Amino acid sequence: MTWLPLALTAALATAVVDTLSKKYFSGLRAFEMGLIRLAYASPCLIAGIFLIPRPGLDTTFWLCIAAGLPLELTALLCYMRAIKVSPLSLTVPFLAFTPAFVILTGYLFLGEVLTLQGILGIALVVAGSYVLNLSRAREQWLAPITAVFREQGSWLMLLTSFIFSFTATLGKVAILHSSPPFFGVTYFLCVLGLMLLVSPAVPGVRVGNLFLRPFPALMVGLATAAVVFSHTYAISLVEAAYMLSVKRTSLLFGVLLGGLVFRETRIRERLLGAFIMLTGVFLIALTP
């Protein structure tokens, strides 16, 4: 199997996980929503540990894991809260900002050169986020921008994208010191372990809530496992930038499912905005 079907599988599975989580578990706390994803995916992930060849591991690998875990948990909670409180079509497109943040942080902190193509890609991502709320422009031209910060899910997902720009860098280093499949399985099992460790200290979290709807939870877990495995195998077959760009088609899938499942409004303008943002992602990925 080539990398392209795997990357598209990761994209579709991501959108399915978000949709199922919002439909069946948005009444729970964000922490519980995240815990359901990983807990029900864990049997598949644990099985993967025994099926995937174990690479040689060094201190750098474990340092990246340790540094990434608190960031990943924070991003996961912001992500769950975003899809819990706001329409999918106004939240998931903001994941397109992750590669834009990566290229900007590379410029600010590493002195990496910004190319014209990269700048154009960032501009398209920003323009697409404006189009998501284009109908608000009738009020005043700044209204689509201010709407982002009035919609809790939008700015939470924007924050998630910013955090992901750092975890993506840490993950890239960890992969170089292990292998993509091994890192993917190990990393998310470690995130689950951290969540189980801190859950007794999180106010309002009840373990019993994880078993209220076992069948939808199982579907969420299987789809989450599909994301992890298809992502890690795809990224091992092609340059990461190409694979991650195709995976970001989850933005379009998420907007479509938001309209189909939740009858969210203004889907056409949100699809257009998501498409413009996705075009920007591809330009950034193809930047020399």
For 228-257, write each residue's pLDDT tens digit: 999 888 887 877 777 878 888 999 999 999
For the segment 112-118, the average pLDDT, to the nearest whole number, is 80
Question: Quick count: other Cβ atoms within 10 Å of Cβ 218?
Answer: 14
**Pairwise pLDDT comparison (138 vs 161), residue with the higher score:** 161
Residues near 214 by beta carbon (within 8 Å), at least 6 away in sequence: none
Q: How far apart are CA 15 and CA 116, in angstroms?
A: 31
pLDDT band at 99 (very low <50, low <70, confident <90, very high): confident
Measured distance between the N- and C-terminal CA atoms of the chain, rounded to whole angstroms: 27
Q: Check residue 142 and give its pLDDT.
A: 66
Q: What is the largest CA-CA distance in the chain?
A: 59
Q: Check residue 114 and give its pLDDT.
A: 74
* Residue 1 pLDDT greater than 70, yes or no: no
Query: DSSP letters along 34-50, please?
Result: HHHHHHHHHHHHHHHHH
Q: How far apart are CA 235 and CA 229, in angstroms?
A: 10
Mean pLDDT, all residues of the chain: 89
CB 129 within 8 A of CB 255: no
* Residue 219 pLDDT greater than 90, yes or no: yes
pLDDT tens by residue, 177-203: 999 889 999 999 999 999 999 999 999
pLDDT band at 140 (very low <50, low <70, confident <90, very high): low
Q: Check residue 139 and give its pLDDT.
A: 65
Helix, strand, coil percentages for the chain (3-state, nearest 5): 80, 0, 20
* Residue 141 pLDDT greater than 70, yes or no: no
Q: How far apart are CA 207 and CA 35, in angstroms?
A: 10
CB 98 within 8 A of CB 125: no
Q: How far apart are CA 122 and CA 103, in angstroms?
A: 9
Q: Which of 38-42, 215-219, 261-265 has the lowest mean pLDDT?
A: 261-265
Q: How far apart are CA 108 and CA 95, in angstroms?
A: 21
| Amino acid in position 76 | L
Q: How far apart are CA 279 and CA 271, in angstroms?
A: 12
pLDDT band at 109 (very low <50, low <70, confident <90, very high): low
pLDDT band at 260 (very low <50, low <70, confident <90, very high): very high
Q: Which of 91-95, 116-120, 269-273, 275-279 has the lowest mean pLDDT?
A: 116-120
For the segment 59-74, the average pLDDT, to the nearest whole number, is 95
Q: How far apart are CA 274 and CA 248, in angstroms?
A: 10
The CA radius of gyration of the chain, in Å to the nearest whole number, is 18
Residues near 143 by beta carbon (within 8 Å), at least 6 away in sequence: 133, 136, 137
**This prediction's pTM:** 0.91
The first and second tokens of residue 251, run together, are: 């933005």
Q: Check residue 194 and give its pLDDT.
A: 96
Q: Check residue 110 and give its pLDDT.
A: 59
**Pairwise pLDDT comparison (265 vs 286), residue with the higher score:** 265
Q: How far apart are CA 218 and CA 213, in angstroms?
A: 9
Residues near 164 by beta carbon (within 8 Å), at least 6 away in sequence: 75, 95, 98, 101
**Pairwise pLDDT comparison (284 vs 259), residue with the higher score:** 259
Q: Check residue 227 and give its pLDDT.
A: 95
For the segment 84-100, the average pLDDT, to the nearest whole number, is 91
pLDDT band at 138 (very low <50, low <70, confident <90, very high): low
